[in-house]
Structure 1
Amino acid sequence: MRFFAFTKNGKPGLGLRTDEGLRGLMQDDPGYPGDMDALVRSGNWTKAAEVLSAANLIDEDGITPALPFQKAGKVLCVGLNYADHAAETNHAPPPYPTVFVRFNDLLVPHEGDLVCPAASGDFDYEGEVVAVIGKEAHRVPKDEALDHVAGYTLFNDGSIRDFQMATPQWTLGKNFDATGSMGPDFVTADELPAGASGLRIQTRLNGEIVQDANTELLIYDVATLIEKLSAIMTLRVGDLIVTGTPAGVGMARTPPLWMKPGDVCEVEVEQIGTLRNAIVAEA
C-alpha cells in the first residue's frame, strides 16, 4: 500500500495510490481515516486502504503535497552509514552507528522549497531512506526488528556544512529552517524487500546524477539500527529512522558542489518513489 498526504484549499487529505490513480478523502469527508501520523499510530492501514480505494479519484494538479509525518516524537538520523560516503569524508567506517537528530517541524514536503540560508552557501544534499516505526520497540533483537517497521519514505538530509563541521556535534548544521525534506509517499513494508534492502538510490541535482548506490550497501541495515537504538531508548510508533546517505555529496567534491537558489534536487529510490524540491534563497 502506498499512501500520500496532501492539502486542498487549505484542508488536509489522505490518498491511496491505485492502478487507476490517486484516490482519497478530505478531512471533512465521511470515513476519512486521519492523517498519516494517526494512520501509523492506529496500525489500521489495511482498513484505511479499503476505505480510500472506494473513494473518488483525486486530480493531483489541484492539490499540494503535505509532509507525510508531522508529529514524529523522534527523527533519528544515521551518519556515515555507507562505507564509500565515510571514505569520501575521510572517516573510517564507524564501529557503532553515528546518530544525530533532526526536528520534524523544520522539514518540508515533496515539491516544497528547500531554503538556502542567508548565513551560509554551503548547502549540501543527502538522499536517504526513512524507516517508520509501526510497533513500539524496546530491546528488540535483530531477528525481530523488522516486525517493528510500518513502512518507508524518502528524505533529503540537506546540510549546512560549515555550521555542521564547526563543532563535533552536528545538530546545528542539520537543523536550519526548511533545509530537509521528506516524502512523497509512505510505502508499507510488505510492498518492499525486507528492510528496504537491495534498492537503487539516486540523487540528482538539476537532472545530473550526483549519488548512485544501492541500499544493500548500508553498513548498519534497518534491522541492526533498530536493535542498537532500541537497546538505548524505546522507539515509539511514528518515530523515524533516517538510514544514511551514500557517496557523492557536494562537500567531498573538488570544487565543492553546493545546492543554490534556482536548483532542483531529486531523491529517487526504486519501488518507493521520487522526492523533488526546488532550492530558494532565504527571504
Structure 2
Amino acid sequence: MLPKFISFSNQGRPGYGLVREDGIVDLSRHYGDRWPTLRAVVAAGALDELAREAQGWMADLVHTAIHYEIPIPDAEKIICVGVNYPDRNAEYKDGQEAPPYPSLFIRLARSFVGHDEPLRRPPESVQLDYEGEIVVVIGRGGRRIPAEHALEHVAGLSLCNEGTIRDWVRHAKFNVTQGKNFDGSGAIGPYLVPFSDPAQLSDITLETSVNGAVRQHDRTGRMIFPFAYLIAYISTFTTLSPGDMIVTGTPTGAGARHDPPIWLKPGDVVEVRADGLGVLRNGVIDEGESPC
C-alpha cells in the first residue's frame, strides 16, 4: 500500500505527516528544520525517503487531534481544467465537438479547505455546486515539458471537490474566476499519495456522492486531455514548480445539470473517491456559521 502524506494543523501549529491506522506520524517534528513544509519535501524529491525512514516509528498524534489542510497549502499555482470528459462536453448542448485545447483557470489556495472541513456557502448565492476531480501534484518543475516525459514530473496525486458558485461564473463575458474562488467553497485532500507507476493514472474510477447518492461516475481513461498532455500543454506557457497542483476536470453529473438544479445546502455531505486515493469528505455550512 502506498504511503499517505498529509498537511495538517494541531492546536494551531501547522505540520505535515504520514497517516496510518494507528495515528499520525508527525514528520514535521522530525524533519521540520530540514524541510519546513510538505512542499519542501516534494521539491527535494524526498517523499520515498521519509516514507521508508518513518516505517518503524510510533504515531505521534491520534487521528482526532488534527485538522486536515489541503496537501500543499503554499502551492505557487493551482491550475484547473474545465470540460475534460466527453459527457461533460455534451452537457453544454451547444452542438460543438470537444475543444481542441483545454479550458484553464486559476484557483487560489484560500478557496479550498481540507478533508473533513466544511465547505462554506456564501451569503451572495445559494448556487454552491460540487465537482469531483483528481489532482496532479508536480514534483520536478520545468518549462515546455514533452508529453512523453511529463509523468516523470509528477510527485503525487490527490482528490478535489472543485466547489463552484454557479451564477458567479456568469458574472463576466470571458472568465469564471469569481465563481471559482469564494473562500472555502472547495476542498482538496485528504492525502498526497506518491506517484510511482503510470498505471496509477491510466484508468482511475472517479466518483462523487452527495448524502450517499452517487452523482458523478467516470474513468480517467475517457478524459479528453490526458494527464501527460495537460502537463505538457500548461508548461508551454508557464514554468511548473514543485508543489503546483493541476485539478484535471470533472465528469458529468454536477448539480447544475439536473432539472431542476440541485444545489448543495447546509447539512449535506459530499464525498469524492478514486482508486487508490481514498475518500475526500466535506460537509456544508453557511459562511459565518461554526462547524458542529
Give the TM-score category using the shorter length: over 0.9
Which consecutive segments of 4 or more residues in structure 1 shift more than 4 A? none
CA deviation vs aligned residue, 1:8-40 (integer Å, no higher than 9, x gap)? 22223332245x54441264x344454221211
Count of aligned residue pairs for this structure pair: 280
Query: Which residue type is aligned with residue 182 of structure 1?
Result: I
Aligned counterpart, 2:143 = 138
CA distance in 2, matches of 1:141, 1:180: 31
- 1:179 aligns to 2:185 (yes or no): yes
CA distance in 2, matches of 1:72, 1:30: 22
Q: Percent identity?
A: 38
Aligned counterpart, 1:82 = 85
Q: 1:153 aligns with which of 150, 158, 163?
A: 158
Task: Give matches, 1:127-276, under 5 Å.
Answer: 127-167=132-172, 168-190=174-196, 193-194=199-200, 196-276=201-281
CA distance in 2, matches of 1:9, 1:176: 26
Contact 1:31 1:51 in 2 (8 A): no
CA distance in 2, matches of 1:89, 1:190: 36
Q: 1:71 aligns with which of 49, 53, 74?
A: 74
Structure 1: unaligned runs, 5 residues or longer: none
TM-score normalised over the length of structure 2: 0.91
Query: Which residue type is aligned with residue 130 of structure 1?
Result: V
State the 1:165 CA deviation: 2.0
CA distance in 2, matches of 1:122, 1:105: 19
- 1:43 aligns to 2:48 (yes or no): no
CA deviation vs aligned residue, 1:202-223 (integer Å, no higher than 9, x gap)? 1011111000111111100110
Contact 2:119 2:185 in 1 (8 A): yes
State the 1:191 CA deviation: 6.0
CA distance in 2, matches of 1:25, 1:192: 29
Aligned counterpart, 1:104 = 109
CA distance in 1, matches of 2:154, 2:30: 29
Residues 263 and 40 (structure 1 numbering): CA distance in 2 closer, same or farther, change over 3 Å?
same
3-state SS of paired residue (1:46): helix
TM-score normalised over the length of structure 1: 0.93
Query: Which residue type is aligned with residue 237 of structure 2?
Result: I
Residues 217 and 22 (structure 1 numbering): CA distance in 2 closer, same or farther, change over 3 Å?
farther
Q: 2:56 aligns with which of 40, 54, 57?
A: 54
Residues 30 and 135 (structure 1 numbering): CA distance in 2 closer, same or farther, change over 3 Å?
closer
3-state SS of paired residue (2:237): coil
Aligned counterpart, 2:25 = 24
CA distance in 2, matches of 1:145, 1:220: 13
CA distance in 2, matches of 1:216, 1:256: 28
Query: Which residue type is aligned with residue 97 of structure 1?
Result: P
Query: Which residue type is aligned with residue 185 of structure 2?
Result: T
3-state SS of paired residue (1:183): strand
Q: 1:7 aligns with which of 6, 9, 12?
A: 9
Contact 2:39 2:242 in 1 (8 A): no
Query: Which residue type is aligned with residue 140 of structure 1?
Result: I
CA deviation vs aligned residue, 1:146-191 (integer Å, no higher than 9, x gap)? 0011111111110011010232200001001110110000011116
3-state SS of paired residue (1:96): coil
Aligned counterpart, 1:113 = 118
Query: Which residue type is aligned with residue 70 of structure 1?
Result: P
3-state SS of paired residue (1:173): helix
Query: Which residue type is aligned with residue 191 of structure 2?
Result: D
State the 1:7 CA deviation: 2.3
Q: Which moved more, 1:37-46 or 1:141-150?
A: 37-46
Contact 1:262 1:278 in 2 (8 A): yes
> What value does the CA root-mean-square deviation take over the aligned residues?
1.7
State the 1:192 CA deviation: 6.5
